Structure 1
Amino acid sequence: MRANVNRFEFVAIQDNCYDDFDLMAQDAREWDIHYQQTGAGTFFGRMTQVILNSLQLGRVRWSPGILDNGTAPPGNWVVALPVSAEGTLHVRGRPASVDQPLFVPAGEDIAFAATGRTDLIVAAIDTAEIERWMQVRRGIDGINRRDLLERCEVTGPDLAQPTLRLQHTLSVLMTHGHDASQDILNTAHSVVLDTVLEIMPSFEVIEPLHRRAKVAAAMRTLLKENIESAITIADICEKMAVRERTLYLACQEAFGKPPKRLLYEMRLNAVRRQLSQPSDLTSVTSEALRFGFLHLGRFAAEYCNQFGERPSETLARARGSSPHSKRLMSGPD
């Protein structure tokens, strides 16, 4: 897999169940891993794996426990988020909490152990891609391996949303498969990378207040100009030459919400404008996907919460009204 890919493509996709742990390990494409069962009982495993030309995203489930050793795809860091675990988890010779992310550096032995039924979301990301993001978003040259492995403190509820986000992204990619549009692949790639970097520790220098006000104004303009593109926080930092923490504080101070939420709401508004002025080909699904909403159920709920009506109602009203009847109440003649 290569970093800095401009066009994302499916390489492989699989979703299989296993009663043989050796066969499950062999089927992990581009990985060199070996399993041993721990604990009593009939083995059951399931592996879901999506391989793009830019990264991998997957989900692995075992019962009972498993010992896992070997290496990830060459040049890739592994980030695993536990969905559930009935026993204890151990990675690289240390106990790991069920509500903490697990990191394995590129080229090093995974050395993972689970003593009971376990369910993990797993991403494999090119080291060069992570390093580029760390430089662009945080001004840090390279990956501080010690900080990443020992000082990551994301736990509990703070980890729940990133885990769900990756689960939903994997589900979307599995649903669309090789038929996924470039928009879907771009958005999925952005979501995975943004999510992974969110849970990495940060040690940034903050810009002064007057500088942050200018950053906020420039960011709003940039977001408007890229409302349809799968722009990431890293892209924004790179284009504006600011660090992630500065961007976050500037947005919070100017608009009362973080950059990702501001962009999300701006995209909801963009969908509403398109649904309010539809063409013959306009549909809720096409407009949602156009503006980067992969999870249509969540999009519909957020849209309804934002505007007080379902997106289908906005579209139906627009198609049933004339250009002169869109206001709730007209004035006297």
Structure 2
Amino acid sequence: MSSSPIYQCNVYFGLDVARASDILYGGYFEHRLSSSAQLSLYHQRVMLNDIRLETGNYSFPIIARGCTPSDTICIGFMAHGSDVTRYNTVPIGTDEIQIYPEGSELLYQSSGSSRWVVYSVPHTILIQAILTYSGQDMTLSKENAISLKLPKGSIDSLLRQTNEVFTIAQNSSNSDCRRGNFNKIQEQLLASYSRIICDAMLESSIEKKSSVSQRHNNLILDSEYFVMSCDDVSASLINIAQRTGYSLRALELIFRNSVGMSPGKWFLNLRLNGTLRDFLMATPVSTVSGIATRWGFQHLSRFSEQYRKTFGEYPSHTLNRSKKRVEAVSFEREFDSQINS
């Protein structure tokens, strides 16, 4: 391994949190906000060849829907906030880690502040490290995420090593790092994850999460795809009930138990966040009505009020601010071009 890690740190504030789509290198996640109050996301990443270590601190409730990287297995745990977080509608227990196969679809939801850590490693490297530790070949699911219950204190140990990696990477020019100190801690971290996974699986302590939760997560995901193809959310909910065999009352209970809100509120939040991302990525010709209509909002005055109640400002204010930012960037680029020509 190289002794020159690539360290990155990104901080997002306010509604710009919705633009942070690359919180897992090689993956894509869509952040959905439920308010504009006290929004901050602090994200760190260390890359060393094909292995990545990432962490994110959310100061607010969050819904993140997306896909993990297609080239690595992701091993995640909660540094804090496990009592308020879910993955794929399943509550995350204390002293648990989750293993996500390459390219897994993931719904992350937290009802309060939280910090997560994800260690991404190629399948072959992880399996070889497990083999080195145990002398046994281990089979990891290529389709379903699994949760492992760890002995008390294991998460704290992983967190200490994680923090040490980030500390060393931030100071990668110092003599300790040049002497290979970073390589050593990285090797120790890989060995720790391998040992923990191996021991937990050999002891048959895989947490068998409810198949009902998995069905409900699939229902919510499929419903999102269907609803986004319809203009009328109310009509599409009736169609979802007809297609799945659930009654509207059953859908209501499933959503409230799985994601903590009604179907109507869930899909309204989905659409509002869609408009927010489009406003933040606006072009000079973007309009409020054009973006709102694209996301299924037919009554602009009602949409503007729903947007203001959720994000603390009218859509026109978000759009105008984004356009000014685009203009400023364009001016700066033009100025630099003239200076360098």
Task: Tell me the C-alpha RMSD between the 2 structures.
Answer: 3.1
* 8 Å contact kept, 2:3–2:178: no
Tell me the equivalent position of 1:324. none
Distance of 1:102 and 1:156 partners within structure 2: 16
Distance of 1:29 and 1:152 partners within structure 2: 23
Report the secondary structure of 2:21's partner residue: helix
1:37 and 2:19 correspond: no
Distance of 1:150 and 1:96 partners within structure 2: 11
Tell me the equivalent position of 1:243. none
The Cα shift of 1:183 comes to 0.5
Distance of 1:165 and 1:8 partners within structure 2: 17
The one-letter code matched in structure 2 to 1:53 is N
Report the secondary structure of 1:145's partner residue: coil
Please, which of 11, 17, 21 is the counterpart of residue 16 of structure 1?
11
The Cα shift of 1:193 comes to 0.5
Tell me the equivalent position of 2:162. 166
- In the TM superposition, 1:169-208 aligns within 5 A as 169-176=165-172, 180-181=177-178, 183-202=180-199
Deviations 1:254-279 (A, max 9, x none): xxxxxxxxxxxxxxxxxxxxxxxxxx
As a proportion of its length, which structure holds more helix?
2
Report the secondary structure of 1:30's partner residue: coil
* 8 Å contact kept, 1:8–1:53: no
Report the secondary structure of 1:141's partner residue: coil
Structure 1 residue runs without a partner (length 5+): 1-5, 206-333
Structure 1 pair 121–26 and aligned structure 2 pair: CA distance change class (3 A): closer
The Cα shift of 1:107 comes to 1.2
* 8 Å contact kept, 1:15–1:47: yes
* 8 Å contact kept, 2:54–2:119: yes
Distance of 1:188 and 1:129 partners within structure 2: 16
Distance of 2:136 and 2:173 partners within structure 1: 36
1:126 and 2:122 correspond: yes
* 8 Å contact kept, 2:84–2:112: yes
Question: TM-score, normalising length from structure 1?
Answer: 0.52
Structure 1 pair 156–65 and aligned structure 2 pair: CA distance change class (3 A): farther
Deviations 1:301-328 (A, max 9, x none): xxxxxxxxxxxxxxxxxxxxxxxxxxxx
Deviations 1:32-60 (A, max 9, x none): 22211246733211101111213111220
Tell me the equivalent position of 1:104. 100
Distance of 2:83 and 2:155 partners within structure 1: 19
Compare relative contact order (CA 8 Å, sep 6+) and give the higher one, 1 or 2: 2
The Cα shift of 1:184 comes to 2.5
Structure 1 pair 107–27 and aligned structure 2 pair: CA distance change class (3 A): closer
- In the TM superposition, 1:46-65 aligns within 5 A as 46-65=42-61
Please, which of 137, 141, 148 is the counterpart of residue 145 of structure 1?
141
- In the TM superposition, 1:1-333 aligns within 5 A as 6-7=1-2, 9-19=4-14, 20-26=16-22, 29-38=25-34, 41-85=37-81, 88-145=84-141, 150=146, 152-176=148-172, 180-181=177-178, 183-202=180-199
Deviations 1:88-125 (A, max 9, x none): 11113311114322221111113221111001222111
Distance of 2:148 and 2:157 partners within structure 1: 16
The Cα shift of 1:199 comes to 2.3
Distance of 1:141 and 1:192 partners within structure 2: 20
The one-letter code matched in structure 2 to 1:41 is A
* 8 Å contact kept, 2:165–2:182: no
Structure 2 residue runs without a partner (length 5+): 204-341
The one-letter code matched in structure 2 to 1:171 is T
Distance of 1:143 and 1:178 partners within structure 2: 40
The one-letter code matched in structure 1 to 2:154 is D
Larger displacement relative to structure 2 (161-170 or 55-64): 161-170
Distance of 2:145 and 2:69 partners within structure 1: 19
Report the secondary structure of 1:195's partner residue: helix
Distance of 2:173 and 2:54 partners within structure 1: 13
Report the secondary structure of 1:14's partner residue: strand
Structure 1 pair 103–183 and aligned structure 2 pair: CA distance change class (3 A): same
The one-letter code matched in structure 2 to 1:197 is S
The one-letter code matched in structure 2 to 1:140 is Q
Deviations 1:60-105 (A, max 9, x none): 0112121222233332111222121175111133111143222211
